[in-house]
């Protein structure tokens, strides 16, 4: 499994999150609302549904990350120099991560985080979805900063399947950011090629 300098990894993850903030703002500011709401095909997500999927996923993971960070800091679990990715966490990261800006492999979405299952297209408020996503990106940045104070190897976060699968905190950050990249690409691909 790959090993990383913990502080270097966290700094890189923070920089990636900041880049995704810019990518997202470009998307929201340069397309008309009806294009953001329009599905490219009946069963494919619109651009704004891709963002809402990220919000839904964040609503699960971010509070759990916050809980383990507070626990790690309060228990005095100090940071380790090296982060060693876990077997399952690294596999999840690699399967989620786009390659050369393209989503190469299809992954089934849990119903609990699938906007086609939870919402009708007309119920999504673009401004609300966008504001929630902005807040989540800021929360991730804040959590990455906090993570520098504790051990991202020892702290574990349950997957969407629950505590049957636990990820190291460092892998959760890697996975979440690969997931964001994946769905920002999907959102762009759901839109016409020319900016209106």
Per DSSP, 120 falls in state: -
DSSP bridge partners of 99: 102
| CA 20/CA 10 separation, integer angstroms | 15
Closest CA relative to residue 79, chosen from 153, 139, 144? 153
Q: pLDDT tens for residues 25-56?
A: 999 999 998 899 988 888 888 999 999 999 99
- Residue in the structure block whose two tokens are 């009708």: 120
| CA 135/CA 130 separation, integer angstroms | 9
| CA 4/CA 6 separation, integer angstroms | 6
Q: pLDDT tens for residues 90-125?
A: 988 988 888 877 777 776 766 666 666 676 655 688
What is the value of pTM for the model shown?
Answer: 0.90
Q: pLDDT tens for residues 154-171?
A: 999 998 877 888 999 999
Contact by Cβ (8 Å): 158, 73: no
Please give the domain boundaries of the chain with CATH numbers for all domains.
3-189 (1.20.120)
Closest CA relative to residue 132, chosen from 56, 22, 190, 64? 56
């Amino acid at each position: 499994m790959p090993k990383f300098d913990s502080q270097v990894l966290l700094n890189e993850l923070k920089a990636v999150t900041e880049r995704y903030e810019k990518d997202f703002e470009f998307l929201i500011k340069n397309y008309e609302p009806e294009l953001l709401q329009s599905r490219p095909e009946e069963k494919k997500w619109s651009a704004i549904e891709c963002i809402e999927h990220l919000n839904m996923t964040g609503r699960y993971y971010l509070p759990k990350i916050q809980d383990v960070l507070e626990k790690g800091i309060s228990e005095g679990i100090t940071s380790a120099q090296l982060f060693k990715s876990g077997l399952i966490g690294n596999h999840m990261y690699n399967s989620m991560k786009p390659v050369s800006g393209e989503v190469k492999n299809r992954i089934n979405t849990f119903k609990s985080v699938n906007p086609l299952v939870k919402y009708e297209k007309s119920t999504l408020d673009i401004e609300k979805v966008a504001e929630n996503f902005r807040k989540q990106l800021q929360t991730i940045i804040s959590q990455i900063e906090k993570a520098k104070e504790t051990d991202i190897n020892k702290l574990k976060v349950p997957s969407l399947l629950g505590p049957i699968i636990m990820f190291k905190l460092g892998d959760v950050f890697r996975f979440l950011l690969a997931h964001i990249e994946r769905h920002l690409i999907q959102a762009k691909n759901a839109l016409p090629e020319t900016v209106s």
